[in-house]
Amino acid sequence: MNVGFIGLGIMGTPMAPNLVTAGHSLQVFDLKPVPSSLTERGVGGCGSGREVAERTDVIITMVPDTPHVEAALFGKSGVAEGLSPSKIVVDMSSISPIATKGFAKRINALGCDYLDAPVSGGEVGAKNATLSIMVGGPEAAFNRVKPLLRSMGKNITLVGNNGDGQTAKVANQIIVALNIEAVAEALLFAARAGADPARVRQALMGGFASSKILELHGERMVKRTFEPGFRIELHQKDLNLALSNAREMGLALPNTATAQELFNSCAAHGGAAWDHSAMVRALEYLANFEIGQKSAGASD
């Protein structure tokens, strides 16, 4: 397929080459220069979103937040200016479900289909083409682009109508945040009690508490490797979506709010760009104790 890709950040840069590997032709645009790792594989660089849309049949956006998607689609020289009927826009960013429904209507008015297809799996999943992809939009358009999605992910689900993919992603981010918080509390508890947190994590991996968060982010917490990954500021954005939409629905999400406050504490300490596993640092500030530190009550 003839594909356009807009947004070559932490996620977009490893996702785009998987499309080329699968045999699709690719045109890309980003505010930064196109990486040589892509141009060396014959990927074409475009000067605007409009040019991407003019040259391709399916246009993928992967940018940080709702205003960036709106600018990429409807700003000056944006995607909408280059669309012609029967093309498909696939937004793989994680943004507002409500705004997504509005974007879809504007793209539909141009005779084109719109899919919201946010992802989960982080940079590792993007590199390995093992992302989970949650899709909202018309089934016919989903079936047309499914081969593209399969080149970037494994668990690909049509959740429902436009906006439902983004709703699923918000739900995903609630679960991830609360799991990070649980793993952080558990490992901090173990370390403060004098146990080796690395061995506690290893023991827990064989039981009912086992999870991807314990496996991957638990190791980050023990080894103190907080380079992103997935930045705290992006998870804050996702939880803001959860909490603001919950307010509109009259829904209480108390533990989501607590997780957001812990992220806020990290950001206040200069950690907005830390990996989200660094939520543990907020709990460490409260405890005045750091995982890996020798507990005064520990036995040799």
| 169 belongs to the catalytic site | yes
Q: How far apart are CA 24 and CA 21, in angstroms?
A: 7
Reported residue count of the chain is: 300
Q: How far apart are CA 13 and CA 8, in angstroms?
A: 5
Q: How is residue 93 annotated by DSSP?
A: S
Q: How far apart are CA 291 and CA 280, in angstroms?
A: 9
Backbone angles phi, psi at 119, to 5 degrees: -125, 160
Phi-psi sector, 54: left (phi>0), alpha (psi -120 to 50), beta: alpha
Q: Give 148-163 as a DSSP string.
A: HHHTTEEEEEEEESTT
**Token reading at 107:** 């793209």
Annotated catalytic residue within 32, 87, 169, 237: 169
Q: Is 187 helix (H, G, I), strand (E, B) or coil?
A: helix
Catalytic positions are 169
